[in-house]
Structure 1
Amino acid sequence: MNHGKECWQINIPALYSPKKKRERLIFDTKSKADAKSRQLKAAAQKFGSNLPTLSHDLHAQVVKVIRKLEPHGIRLEEAVDGYLERVQQLESSITYSELVDAVVKHKRDRGKREKYVGDVRQKGRRFLPFFGDKKICDISTLEIDEAVSNLEIAPSSKRVYRRYLRLIFNQALEWQMLDKNPVPPNKKEITERKEPSIFTPEQVQTLLHGATDELLPYYVLAVFCGIRPTEITRLSWDKVHFEEKVIRVGSSQSKTKLPRLVKINETAFAWLKKFKGKSGKIIPDSFRAKFDQNRKDTGLFSAWSSDVLRHTCATYHATLHEEYEKTAYLLGHDVATLKRYYFQPVLKTVADKFWKLRPKN
């Protein structure tokens, strides 16, 4: 009876239920119940007729597995398919060490600059002691976090290594070797950042007056024109147009591979004009040793920091022109990067003194 009405019910064991759990079906007429009962019996007989093809031990294993899966709502077929997919993934996967080598080769084959390729190799190989021989499909986010945490470097450097690690796994994702990247992106952190180091006008004067003709163009292009050190090493004198007072940094010289024209301002021109008519590379092959020695001779070696000449140029240029967009274009950056990493507030009188620096003769 169901709420005072006559009804018929059928109890279905979990073994014969499509839902793989016990079911109770309710019917309002006996004919409907009988029809469903005959259908279920036929299915049970068909199921039973297949059992003789299984050994007793195998049948016992099947029943045992089904019972293990029941609490999780997983069908036997789903479990088998998932397992086979996992086996296939393992068989087709490669080790982390092999992935690093493949990514490095891929970057080089695509024409990436050797410095960038070297950075990918160096940063990627730093994690070989942690999971070099492990299949990439088995490397978890937890392992990534532990490996980065165990690097004995500054927190800011750890963020750089994590970024390169994510780049390497992104390539595996692009090659369809993984379903997802185990390296999450760096969390945005608002931290107190030190002001960029710059030279005073007096320090720049000491540097320039103490430089030989081999070193002077490098200093001038960096501190007065804001050209990147790596870009200067790729430039030749035919890119310096003295008549138009511009320097063409082509795509093959530019770090961003975007060409740009850099204006030779009056201060830079005053120091560069004696080199008009020169040819070949601006920076000689023997530059590095002489560069280091010159910094020691001028007493600026200890005060030298990464990109200090570009920071100096950016600071005094932005202070003089009071247009961040103009300075950002000069540096080949955006305004946000300029303000965050390159600019240090200085007095206008100090900037004026910087731009009035001239050779002795």
Structure 2
Amino acid sequence: MRKEPLPPRIKKLSTPVPIDRKKPEAGVYRYVLEYAAKDEDGGEWKRQRRYFTSWNAAEAACREMKQRARIAGEGALGIKPGDAEDLAKMRELLADIETEPLAAVREWVEAKRLLQSCGDNVIDVTREWAEQKKRELESKTVEEASELFLKAKEADGARPRYLSDLQQCMRLFSEAFAGKKVAALTPKDIADWIGSLPVGPVRRRNIRVMLGVFLNHAARMGWCSKGIIEDVPAPRVKPAKTETFTPDESCALLEAASRIAPALVPYLTLGLFCGLRTAELDRLDWQHVNDKKVRIEADVAKTASRRVVPIPENAAAWIAPYHRKSGPVRPPNARRFLGKVLAASGVKWKPNAMRHSFASYSLAATNDAPRVSLELGHMSPALVFRHYRALVSQEDAHRYFSIRPPAASSNVIPIAAGRR
């Protein structure tokens, strides 16, 4: 390799070189043109050779080469001092990465062309790509991240049922992406996996939510970029019909329970007339219940936020005979007792119907969505309006909150008094 260009020159070969050794009739090369040239990336000067059969052909090629050099030299004379300074700065900047200016410019132009249709900036895209590669190198595998995530949730005091759901979800996810780094996961990977599961849309939606919790945790730990789950489309779930118990059905349930399973009466009463969630009823202790209100502590509430729910007068009458200082409100064998009560009452059980009934009748009776929302533990009154508005009449709401134990049936509390 040469630092300075070699002037073109013609030499006669001492020994002619066959053009094609397999075809002697093709003739021989007798002259060689030696010159200096750079490769396409504009690196250092390198000696090059071209072979010719005659002096005239070699001389013509040499003249053409010198002519091109002369034209290039004249062009170089037109370079402004500022351009020369820029070239010197370019060489200085490129010295650390051992790249010639021409090669660097070619790479930049090609990258610019590729990104031109996207409207992206070369630097931004390169930086994002480099950060992604760095994350992949520093990232955990899905199995490693999943194990650490579950340990963190357990340490945070996640409830056993929620933790069990997370464990099942992460086990399936880890098996599907075994050995893959979390940072290498794409929204398409996750969406395709969720779509392949042999489960219904509600379960798919719940799995997406749990994976969102996992990926957000991974992003906080620096194992992947933020917001991956936002680009995973949520499965479409057909809105479930909001089912309620009629006043007659509610009365039949409580009367049957008082005859067959008295210990179940407070459980049903607080669900029907206070709107507590099933999970909240299952964890509720009598020490948080009096004749005026129910106090839902953070460790009982679904949203881990405490709230106070007033007890209507008719509900207080139902639970008064069974009130205790402490202990679980949910009796042992509650599921078995409930089956007997349903059979005796002739009422068909409807999922979440106790809570839906309270919300629907309470909204119809008071027309106060913020108040009902607060008692339900919802974040927004809009949710109450969307799900419970105009499901029942005011007359049925009056009957509903007037349901009392048989012994007190003659003393019916008007709806206004019962809900204020």
| TM-score relative to the length of structure 2 | 0.64
TM-superposition CA deviations, 1:247-295 (whole Å, max 9, x none) = 2222222222222221111110110111245532212343233334433
SS in 2 for 1:247: strand
Find the counterpart in structure 2 of residue 295 from structure 1: 342
Select the residue among 349, 355, 365 that pairs with 1:304. 349
Could you say if the C-alpha distance between residues 87 and 322 of structure 1 is closer, same or farther in structure 2, counting changes exceeding 3 Å?
closer
Matches of 2:165 and 2:352 in 1, distance apart? 18
Find the counterpart in structure 2 of residue 319 from structure 1: 364
TM-superposition CA deviations, 1:197-231 (whole Å, max 9, x none) = 00111111121111112211110001011112222
Select the residue among 211, 214, 222 that pairs with 1:165. 211
1:264 aligns with 2:306: no
After TM superposition, the structure 1 = structure 2 runs for residues 166-185 of structure 1, keeping only pairs within 5 Å, are 166-184=212-230
Find the counterpart in structure 2 of residue 142 from structure 1: 188
1:227 aligns with 2:272: no
Given residue 252 of structure 2, which amino acid in structure 1 is its aligned partner?
T
Question: Shift in Å at residue 342 of structure 1?
Answer: 4.4
Whether the aligned pair in 2 keeps the contact of 1:100 and 1:168 (CA below 8 Å) is: yes
Find the counterpart in structure 1 of residue 290 from structure 2: 241
SS in 2 for 1:326: helix
Given residue 117 of structure 1, which amino acid in structure 2 is its aligned partner?
L
Matches of 2:302 and 2:133 in 1, distance apart? 44
Could you say if the C-alpha distance between residues 98 and 162 of structure 1 is closer, same or farther in structure 2, counting changes exceeding 3 Å?
same
Matches of 2:371 and 2:225 in 1, distance apart? 44
Could you say if the C-alpha distance between residues 341 and 132 of structure 1 is closer, same or farther in structure 2, counting changes exceeding 3 Å?
farther
Deviates more, 1:158-167 or 1:320-329: 158-167
After TM superposition, the structure 1 = structure 2 runs for residues 48-59 of structure 1, keeping only pairs within 5 Å, are none
TM-superposition CA deviations, 1:124-165 (whole Å, max 9, x none) = 334344324322122222211211211233334323222221
Given residue 210 of structure 2, which amino acid in structure 1 is its aligned partner?
Y
Given residue 337 of structure 2, which amino acid in structure 1 is its aligned partner?
K
Given residue 111 of structure 2, which amino acid in structure 1 is its aligned partner?
H
Matches of 2:232 and 2:192 in 1, distance apart? 14
| TM-score relative to the length of structure 1 | 0.74
Question: Shift in Å at residue 311 of structure 1?
Answer: 0.2
Deviates more, 1:97-106 or 1:31-40: 31-40
SS in 2 for 1:215: helix
Could you say if the C-alpha distance between residues 202 and 182 of structure 1 is closer, same or farther in structure 2, counting changes exceeding 3 Å?
same
SS in 2 for 1:248: strand
SS in 1 for 2:372: helix
Matches of 2:214 and 2:390 in 1, distance apart? 35
Given residue 277 of structure 2, which amino acid in structure 1 is its aligned partner?
R
Question: Relative CO higher for 1 or 2, CA cutoff 8 Å, sep ≥ 6?
Answer: 1
Matches of 2:104 and 2:73 in 1, distance apart? 30
SS in 1 for 2:224: coil
Find the counterpart in structure 1 of residue 17 from structure 2: none
Matches of 1:224 and 1:181 in 2, distance apart? 41
Could you say if the C-alpha distance between residues 281 and 85 of structure 1 is closer, same or farther in structure 2, counting changes exceeding 3 Å?
closer
Given residue 282 of structure 2, which amino acid in structure 1 is its aligned partner?
T
Whether the aligned pair in 2 keeps the contact of 1:314 and 1:343 (CA below 8 Å) is: no
Residue segments in structure 1 that go unaligned for 5+ positions in a row: 1-11, 18-23, 52-58
Find the counterpart in structure 2 of residue 133 from structure 1: 179
Could you say if the C-alpha distance between residues 15 and 217 of structure 1 is closer, same or farther in structure 2, counting changes exceeding 3 Å?
same
SS in 1 for 2:229: coil
Could you say if the C-alpha distance between residues 329 and 39 of structure 1 is closer, same or farther in structure 2, counting changes exceeding 3 Å?
closer
Whether the aligned pair in 2 keeps the contact of 1:251 and 1:259 (CA below 8 Å) is: yes
Matches of 1:331 and 1:304 in 2, distance apart? 21
Whether the aligned pair in 2 keeps the contact of 1:101 and 1:121 (CA below 8 Å) is: no
Find the counterpart in structure 1 of residue 41 from structure 2: 15
SS in 2 for 1:210: helix
SS in 2 for 1:310: helix
Deviates more, 1:87-96 or 1:343-352: 87-96
SS in 2 for 1:112: coil
Find the counterpart in structure 2 of residue 283 from structure 1: 330
Whether the aligned pair in 1 keeps the contact of 2:254 and 2:265 (CA below 8 Å) is: yes
Matches of 1:142 and 1:221 in 2, distance apart? 45
Find the counterpart in structure 2 of residue 359 from structure 1: 405
Matches of 1:39 and 1:358 in 2, distance apart? 92
Whether the aligned pair in 2 keeps the contact of 1:144 and 1:182 (CA below 8 Å) is: no
Whether the aligned pair in 2 keeps the contact of 1:195 and 1:344 (CA below 8 Å) is: no
Between Structure 1 and Structure 2, whose CA radius of gyration is higher?
2
Deviates more, 1:165-174 or 1:187-196: 187-196
For the aligned residue pairs, the C-alpha RMSD in angstroms reads 4.3
Given residue 230 of structure 1, which amino acid in structure 2 is its aligned partner?
A
Residue segments in structure 2 that go unaligned for 5+ positions in a row: 1-37, 44-70, 114-122, 408-420
Find the counterpart in structure 1 of residue 141 from structure 2: 95
Find the counterpart in structure 2 of residue 72 from structure 1: 111
